[in-house]
Amino acid sequence: MHAAPQEILDLARDWVYAGGMRDVEFIKAHSHTEDPDAIHTIASGPGACLSLSSFLEHLGEVPPRSSSGSNASGFVHGDVAWVTDVIQSDMLHEGIIDIRCTVVLVRADGEWKVTHSHVSEGVKREVV
């Protein structure tokens, strides 16, 4: 296992940004799934465990949101890589918030592709 190269960190960041901007073509071109019914993306909120096709459909239902910032880190082991990051996303009426991201990639047909992602909003909680 070794640190993920910049190419993988950039792809993971760009994939998450593309999701925010509702860039379905980028997501399609840079995603991979063996099972079309498998959970591909998990997001905040109830019912947010989505197959790739459900995720692509969802992107067409919500307005684009710009993202910025990135402090990605990750690792590679063989043909699998995983990246964690925190980006800032403009939630339109709610302002800019931090979004925690985890992206899992596989090397498929010689190219790195996203096979799973998890994005979630940070929630302030009191520690008791």
Question: Domains of the chain (ranges plus CATH)?
Answer: 2-121 (3.10.450.50)
Q: Is it the case that residue 123 has pLDDT exceeding 80?
A: no
Q: Which long-range contacts (CB under 8 A, 24 or more apart) does 92-97 make?
A: 92/63, 92/65, 97/121, 97/122
Report the C-alpha gap between 31 and 109 in whole angstroms.
Answer: 12
Place of tokens 């899992």: 104
Lookup: tokens for 57: 């459909």
Decide: helix, strand or coil at residue 54.
Answer: helix
* Cα distance between the two ends of the chain: 38
The single-letter code of the amino acid at 122 is G
Q: Chain-wide mean pLDDT for the chain? A: 89
Lookup: tokens for 73: 């880190």
**Mean pLDDT of all residues in 98-109:** 93
Q: Is it the case that residue 117 has pLDDT exceeding 90?
A: yes
Phi, psi of 19 (to 5 degrees): -60, -45
Q: What percent of the chain lies above the pLDDT cut of 70?
A: 93
Prediction pTM value: 0.89
Interval 30-76: pLDDT, tens = 999 988 788 888 887 677 888 898 888 888 888 898 899 999 999 99
Q: Which residue has the higher pLDDT, 19 or 62?
A: 19
